[in-house]
Structure 1
Amino acid sequence: MSPLTKKLGRDLWRIKGQAIAIALVIAVGVLMQVMQTGLVASLDETRRAYYERYRLADVFAPVTRAPEWLAADLRGIPGVAAVQTRVVGNALVDLPGIDLPLQAQAVSLPDSGQPRLNDVFLTDGRMFAGDRPGEVVILQSFAKAHGLKPGESLEVTMNGARRSFDIVGFAMSPEFLYTTAPGEVVPDDSRFAVLWMSRTALSAAFDMDGAFNEALISLSRGTEPAAVISAVDRLLDRFGGIGAYALEDLPSDKYIAQEIEGLRQTSATVPPVFMAVAAFLLYIVISRMLQAEREEIGLMKAFGYTNWEVGSHYLQMILVIAVGGAVFGALLGIAAGRALVDVYLLYYKFPFLVFRLAPSSFVIGIGASVLAASAGGLFVLRGVFALTPAVAMRAAPPPDYSRSLHFGKKLSGFLDQPTRMVLRRMTRQPVRMFGAIVGIAAGVALSAAMAAILTSFDEMIELTFDVTDRSDVTVSFIHPIERQSLHDIETMTGVIEVEPVRIVPAILSHGRNSYRGAITGMVEQPRLNRAVDSDTRPIRLRRDGIILSTGLARILAIAPGDWLTVDVREGRRPKVELPVIAVAESLMGSPAYMEISALNRALKEPLRVSGAFLRMDPEHAGQIYRELKDMPMVAGVAPKNDSREALQRMTDQGAGAMRYIMALIAGVITFGVIYNAARVAQAERARDLAGLRVLGFTRGEIAFVLLGELAVVTLLALPLGALGGFGLTFAISAGFSTDLYQIPASFSFASFGQAMVVVLVAALLSGWAVKRDIDRSDLVLALKTRE
């Protein structure tokens, strides 16, 4: 072992605390890189394989009712590889002991053999027999939520008729990875089922003999969906085509695609922050070490070591810390990725999901950490090459403090000597102090931003379910009905208030931007479900235009005063131009609001409603649910509390769970910065502090001289960190927001207070560790000049 190698081991052991702290900062960055890149690769590859294996359609074409012979015309469209027609319909499931009617979607499969498109994965039991119309296969997640087993019976209301079915198996499908009931945006396994039946049985239930109401289309390789969709719409238009759409507009695929894209963006933006902090910390540590070992460098050169040999010695120290942290972070990333895979497997209902390591993540993570660390150290190592043995072995010229802070007699009498020492230290090395302030401020900003995001998730739920939606239950109907039909609901015992709503599916366009969504028609001054502005004040719905949510306005790049093209996909399917009169704050979905009579007038369908918001007496809830269950016009009932709980579960999983990981990481980086600042200050002033002890200063006064500096730096970093956290909050909230929910960027004093607690705890722990070493230090050894 060469002398320089032995020295490397001794030096690393001497700064082991700082080395470990810097390595942890690097490890966290690599952990995020490996974990999130691996999750992106795993989700992307699993989704692609699942779609291909079970032949998920490329285009979905719903229609009111089309004859079966039209399938041949659909197959003749250029670019179409295969066509599968089917029957789908809404249903209500009645389970024993549950008053609430549970929504379901009935989907047909061929009476025998596998479907050409949108096959299912059977998890339990068997498939139904084509000659037995009373057999169904149900969605596995719904069955598990209610403890159902193959062989049990199921009471279902379809097309207004009550039927009994035998459950013969459970299944999963790539079409229903993310399942929501019609009219809702939050998935809830316990309140939404999918029932697969034979084509003959379902056609009979919905009066679709010899007809279909949805066509599934797969495309030839290289075919653009837009051209095929236009041709399909032309064919289905006279049969009540609702508008074909591509796979990317399927709600299940859209949400998963947004999840993957969010992970991809985070993996590309977060790790560089940690690499930059690590480079800064290494710069500080190595520069201090070079100043302390100035004479040793001169001796090594005098004994024949070249500039490259001496420089490579310190560079090896940097690489050991960087590579060690990167390898440790890679191992943690693998473990964290494998743990999160189980969460995604349960949440997204994949039949299989294996954590797939992306080799590029290791190359990028380890390579970036090494390059960043080397960049921080190379600025310092230039001084090694500049030092000649004669210059290095002489004492460094004393710094010029003639222009530094001076205390007058009055100020000197007011401030004690340790306090003056702290203030002089701050003014004599302003660049280093500013660097420490910036480093701690970065930790404060990240901690404050993550605390704000944690609060914003709760604010999003509170604003949605306490401020915007003040109803107790949302009732949806099978099809739009007359307004007077709500009288039966209004007269139910326990119903306090009923507010009608009309929801119309439509394609909203502005310029080149479009969004497939719906228009929600409400009364002029709604009380139970309101549109509110950014100050949560209710917006009065006018009859001269449309109000868009903030998320939808951002997607369409539209503002009040602009005109919106609305292509209605229901009834007569008119295409109208409407002015945007306001933008409302909505954190759930991307709704558009209109006054209900104005919406019905535009559709030429007066006095129509498609649902209602109810406020009711909780004591009569069970009775109300039972009565709604018996109404043939009711398609679904959604209690607000159930939707709220489902949203809370969703935000605690998937992308929402990542906020907890990032909050923990913010604490790690904050502690790393503060701990290194304290250790560097201790190492630089070890001899001075020992001299003060010999002169009679107490341990408490010595600790005040050192830790007072850390306290001042930390306090100065807090306002700078608050400003950085304010800006960072907007960037992180935009990254977490999706079409399903938008996270408000609200930076509050409470969020900053939480960040301050994190910083103060990190400062106290660092100060305690440094003070402990000061109390244990050998005064004689510290006062000796290193040879």
Structure 2
Amino acid sequence: MVSPLTHKLLRDLWRMKGQAIAIGLVIAMGVMLQVMMSGLVTTLEGTRDAYYDRYRLTDVFAPVTRAPAHLVASLGQIDGVARVQDRVVGAALVDIPDRAAPVQAQAVSLPADGAAALNATYLSAGRMPDPARPDEILLVEGFAKAHGLAPGDTLVATLNGTRRALSIAGLAQSPEFLYIAAPGEMVPDDSRFGVIWMGRDAMAALFDMGGAFNEALFALTREANKPAVLAEIDRILDPYGGRGAYGVEDQYSNQFVSEEIRGLKGSSNTVPPLFLAVAAFLLYIVIGRMVQSEREEIGLLKAFGYTNAEVGAHYLKLVLIIATGGALLGCLLGIAGGRGMVQLYLQYFKFPFLLFRLDPASFAIGVMASILAASGGGLLVLRRVFALTPADAMHPPAPADYSRSGRIGQGIANLLDQPSRMVLRRITRQPVRMAGAMIGIACGMALSGSMLSTFIAFEDTLDTTFTVIDRSDLTISFAGPVQRAALHEIATREGVWQIEPVRFVPAILRNGRHTHRGSIQGQPTDASLSRAIDTNKQAIPMREDGLILSTTLAAKLEIRAGDTVTVEVRDGRRPTLALPVAAIADSFFGTPAFIELGALNRALKEPGRVTGAYLRIDPGKRDEITQWLKGLPMVAGVSIKAEAETAFRKVMNEGAGSSRYVMGVLAFVITYGIVYNAARIAHAERARDLASLRVLGFTKGEAAFVLLGELAVITLVALPIGTLLGHGLSQLIMAAFSTDIYTITLGFEPSAYGNAALVVLSAALVSGLLVKRDLDRADLISALKTRE
């Protein structure tokens, strides 16, 4: 048999169904993000670790210029090394018939016996190459699909100056290449960069590595002391041009995967709790107003023998039903959203498969956090229920003391008509209640404004990178350092308007215990095609007396302008330099370190050397120039900036970066829910007063004005407060999105908060129209009766 309190609970839920749904949606959005983001973290981490383990991703990489094969035995004797595998790697240019520009690729040798002890390949189509057929290769799957290639097709490529026709035996993927981007670029693009696996003997012959290797791979024991192992590897390989051994944590592909996971963790720890806090605040207001309006009913229930616990449980059940319903809906939406995001991540990271895995802990945390947050607000209200005695509750509440607020705005009130004075008196006489509604709407404004600021920040970062920092049209890279005079032939080519040399040197930068493995970029003093810029987007001239570090790199090394950084050069004579930090530059992608080109070459005792160049060209001759560059023996790669920008925008808008759009949609939904609740609460509080006005002769429009005018004033006052809150929130969101790989910077964006204000105002307009419709339909007799 259903108890009377259960009947009342069902009636209350039906009566406030609009508010219950709105609050439930706010909770659902928070739980959805919690479940979706935590599930994505679990999915990416679990799949990555399983993939690494099954296909034996190496623990340490050790590049070297050219080392004899007999060193492998010595490397295997290092304490802590479980297994060693040597190989040959090199650059390749792939000739795609329908593309003028050459397509870059990385060539990697397969073990002579075909069985890779480390960094094994996942064969997705075809078969492994026949060791007896040196021209057979494996091709990375993404590149093959981008160009319509399949096993059995022929690929023409230039490797170390030798043009070869290669037969595709199979398509493959590898844990070493989860994230594939061309050298010098940050964005994956399957159409512009690929990976080729070729037999060891064929690779050795092409790259002059007979009886030698240029990279060693290491698996370590569980007890290994990695720093000691790295130091010993470097000691053995240094005489042969060792470039510095490094762990898998510094490997290019793994860095991107790990940073994406870290970013997801940061977002999941920042945004969902905020949404749940807003929901708890809304529930507190709604239930608090309900208890206030039902004083007499609470008194009657207690008079009939219901205990404080039973009456309190009734209102707590109301809170729990709304919170639980929203949490369960959020879980379902989180699973659906996570499955959708997984498909986007498959375009971004090259996993053989990626199935969304629900993190049971996140499911439980999302549900429990939403229930606890909502219950926390409800329990604060239940104190009022316990404090009411039947005698007190059955009497109307004592009239509020307006003696101190009655004259507030009196001068203005004399200039207003009667409905406007009612609005003003309500606001001035109940400031705490009005402040609660105002803060709620300000939170909605903050959510929308912060997400719109995020969208603008992404666009501004891309525009600054590809128009202010990089002003070139093409970037060319050479197979190795060449004399600067070699650029003369390119500079005099018809259609080449400007050429600017550059030299990249691999290096390890140290500041105390802080270390960064990367490169130093040498450029002319007056570099104009690729520039370092300050916070005002003004060019910083290259310095001979020190390095110019990016903000991200300076933060990583915990170093400031004027400090000294130790630079261990891993090329040529490999000197160790102590260089002052001359300036800090704004940079959004990567962690560059700049120095004047001549000063870099003098430090290396290799005058006049460059490893590439930036070009500004006649757009009408781009295909002709890139086709010509493809035939130059010294050119190892050509990158077209327009294609790189298009690829980056695609990743940001369709790949992993699209998660910001999901968060934006949720923010807008929550904003509407907050404003709608504010309007409904105000209506519930004043239904009797407004009915009284109608009986006294006020028109429907005048009665609605008293209520909607109050909502309008609160909304307008909330907009500037929401703007301030939104700017602070956007800083937190940007910090969650930014990683060591890329940094999203944010200034104050007036257009973002202008559009956010339009979202809030449109929500207020829609909510006002819905409330006015209910006012017009109200039964005046029922509204004026004392509730029983």
Instruction: Give the TM-score normalised by the residue count of structure 1.
Output: 0.99
When residues 550 and 622 of structure 1 are mapped into structure 2, their CA distance, relative to the original with a 3 A threshold, is: same
The whole-number CA distance in structure 2 between the counterparts of 1:10 and 1:247 is 61
Show structure 2 runs of 5+ residues with no match.
Answer: none
The whole-number CA distance in structure 1 between the counterparts of 2:574 and 2:611 is 16
Q: Give 3-state SS (helix, strand or coil) of 2:72's partner.
A: helix
When residues 408 and 220 of structure 1 are mapped into structure 2, their CA distance, relative to the original with a 3 A threshold, is: closer
Residue 413 of structure 1 deviates from its aligned partner by: 4.1
The whole-number CA distance in structure 2 between the counterparts of 1:213 and 1:409 is 86
The 8 Å contact of residues 525 and 596 in structure 2, kept in 1 or not, is answered as: yes
* 1:241 aligned residue: 242
The 8 Å contact of residues 347 and 653 in structure 1, kept in 2 or not, is answered as: no
The whole-number CA distance in structure 1 between the counterparts of 2:225 and 2:326 is 47
* 2:517 aligned residue: 516
Residue 412 of structure 1 deviates from its aligned partner by: 4.2
Q: Give 3-state SS (helix, strand or coil) of 2:532's partner.
A: coil
The whole-number CA distance in structure 1 between the counterparts of 2:323 and 2:711 is 26
The whole-number CA distance in structure 2 between the counterparts of 1:63 and 1:258 is 27
* 1:337 aligned residue: 338
CA offsets 1:364-390 (integer angstroms, 9 cap, x no match): 111111111111011111111111111
The 8 Å contact of residues 503 and 610 in structure 1, kept in 2 or not, is answered as: yes
CA offsets 1:404-430 (integer angstroms, 9 cap, x no match): 233788644421111111111111111
CA offsets 1:116-135 (integer angstroms, 9 cap, x no match): 00000111111110010111
Residues 435-444 or 682-691, more deviating: 435-444
The whole-number CA distance in structure 1 between the counterparts of 2:331 and 2:411 is 58
The whole-number CA distance in structure 2 between the counterparts of 1:786 and 1:504 is 81
* 1:346 aligned residue: 347
* 1:719 aligned residue: 720
When residues 509 and 408 of structure 1 are mapped into structure 2, their CA distance, relative to the original with a 3 A threshold, is: closer
Residue identity matched to 1:628: L
The whole-number CA distance in structure 2 between the counterparts of 1:460 and 1:566 is 29
Residue identity matched to 2:74: D
* 2:401 aligned residue: 400
* 1:753 aligned residue: 754
* 2:735 aligned residue: 734
For residues 673-688 of structure 1, what are the structure 2 equivalents within 5 Å?
A: 673-688=674-689
* 2:77 aligned residue: 76
Residue 113 of structure 1 deviates from its aligned partner by: 3.2
Residue identity matched to 2:668: G
The 8 Å contact of residues 259 and 741 in structure 2, kept in 1 or not, is answered as: no
Q: Give 3-state SS (helix, strand or coil) of 1:611's partner.
A: strand
Residue 648 of structure 1 deviates from its aligned partner by: 0.6
The whole-number CA distance in structure 2 between the counterparts of 1:12 and 1:104 is 63
* 1:192 aligned residue: 193
CA offsets 1:166-205 (integer angstroms, 9 cap, x no match): 1111100100010111222222111111110000111011
When residues 282 and 69 of structure 1 are mapped into structure 2, their CA distance, relative to the original with a 3 A threshold, is: same
Residue identity matched to 1:447: S
* 1:42 aligned residue: 43
* 1:667 aligned residue: 668
When residues 59 and 409 of structure 1 are mapped into structure 2, their CA distance, relative to the original with a 3 A threshold, is: closer
The whole-number CA distance in structure 2 between the counterparts of 1:80 and 1:501 is 38
* 1:556 aligned residue: 557
For residues 516-665 of structure 1, what are the structure 2 equivalents within 5 Å?
A: 516-665=517-666
The whole-number CA distance in structure 2 between the counterparts of 1:549 and 1:405 is 59
The whole-number CA distance in structure 2 between the counterparts of 1:111 and 1:544 is 49
CA offsets 1:725-759 (integer angstroms, 9 cap, x no match): 12222221121112332111122111111111111
* 1:425 aligned residue: 426
Residue identity matched to 2:689: D
Q: Give 3-state SS (helix, strand or coil) of 1:652's partner.
A: helix
The whole-number CA distance in structure 1 between the counterparts of 2:465 and 2:97 is 31
What is the total number of aligned residue pairs between the two structures?
787
The whole-number CA distance in structure 2 between the counterparts of 1:474 and 1:606 is 22
CA offsets 1:221-271 (integer angstroms, 9 cap, x no match): 232322211111111000110011000101110010011011112112211
The 8 Å contact of residues 111 and 131 in structure 1, kept in 2 or not, is answered as: no
The whole-number CA distance in structure 1 between the counterparts of 2:477 and 2:571 is 16
The whole-number CA distance in structure 2 between the counterparts of 1:318 and 1:73 is 69
The whole-number CA distance in structure 2 between the counterparts of 1:70 and 1:601 is 33
Q: Give 3-state SS (helix, strand or coil) of 2:113's partner.
A: coil
Residue identity matched to 1:582: A
Residue identity matched to 1:198: G
The 8 Å contact of residues 729 and 747 in structure 1, kept in 2 or not, is answered as: no
The whole-number CA distance in structure 1 between the counterparts of 2:216 and 2:708 is 72
Q: Give 3-state SS (helix, strand or coil) of 2:539's partner.
A: coil
Q: Give 3-state SS (helix, strand or coil) of 1:354's partner.
A: coil
CA offsets 1:51-94 (integer angstroms, 9 cap, x no match): 01100100000000111111111111111111110000001101
* 1:260 aligned residue: 261
The whole-number CA distance in structure 2 between the counterparts of 1:675 and 1:410 is 32
* 1:172 aligned residue: 173
Residue identity matched to 2:680: R
* 1:372 aligned residue: 373
The whole-number CA distance in structure 2 between the counterparts of 1:667 and 1:696 is 39
Q: Give 3-state SS (helix, strand or coil) of 2:354's partner.
A: coil
Q: Give 3-state SS (helix, strand or coil) of 1:700's partner.
A: helix
The 8 Å contact of residues 90 and 106 in structure 2, kept in 1 or not, is answered as: yes
The whole-number CA distance in structure 1 between the counterparts of 2:621 and 2:540 is 32
Measured on the aligned residues, the alpha-carbon RMSD in Å equals 1.2
* 1:294 aligned residue: 295
The whole-number CA distance in structure 1 between the counterparts of 2:651 and 2:483 is 36
Residue identity matched to 1:349: K
The 8 Å contact of residues 108 and 197 in structure 1, kept in 2 or not, is answered as: yes
Q: Is 1:182 matched up with 2:162?
A: no
Percent identical among aligned pairs is: 60
Residue identity matched to 1:690: A
The whole-number CA distance in structure 2 between the counterparts of 1:427 and 1:410 is 13
Residue identity matched to 1:599: L
* 2:442 aligned residue: 441
The 8 Å contact of residues 114 and 131 in structure 2, kept in 1 or not, is answered as: no
When residues 695 and 178 of structure 1 are mapped into structure 2, their CA distance, relative to the original with a 3 A threshold, is: same
The whole-number CA distance in structure 2 between the counterparts of 1:155 and 1:300 is 87
Q: Give 3-state SS (helix, strand or coil) of 1:697's partner.
A: coil
Q: Is 1:127 matched up with 2:132?
A: no
The whole-number CA distance in structure 1 between the counterparts of 2:112 and 2:231 is 31
The whole-number CA distance in structure 2 between the counterparts of 1:546 and 1:44 is 37
Instruction: Give the TM-score normalised by the residue count of structure 2.
Output: 0.99
The whole-number CA distance in structure 2 between the counterparts of 1:679 and 1:80 is 68
Residue 439 of structure 1 deviates from its aligned partner by: 1.5
When residues 407 and 30 of structure 1 are mapped into structure 2, their CA distance, relative to the original with a 3 A threshold, is: closer
Residue identity matched to 1:353: L
Residue 346 of structure 1 deviates from its aligned partner by: 2.5
The whole-number CA distance in structure 1 between the counterparts of 2:622 and 2:408 is 76
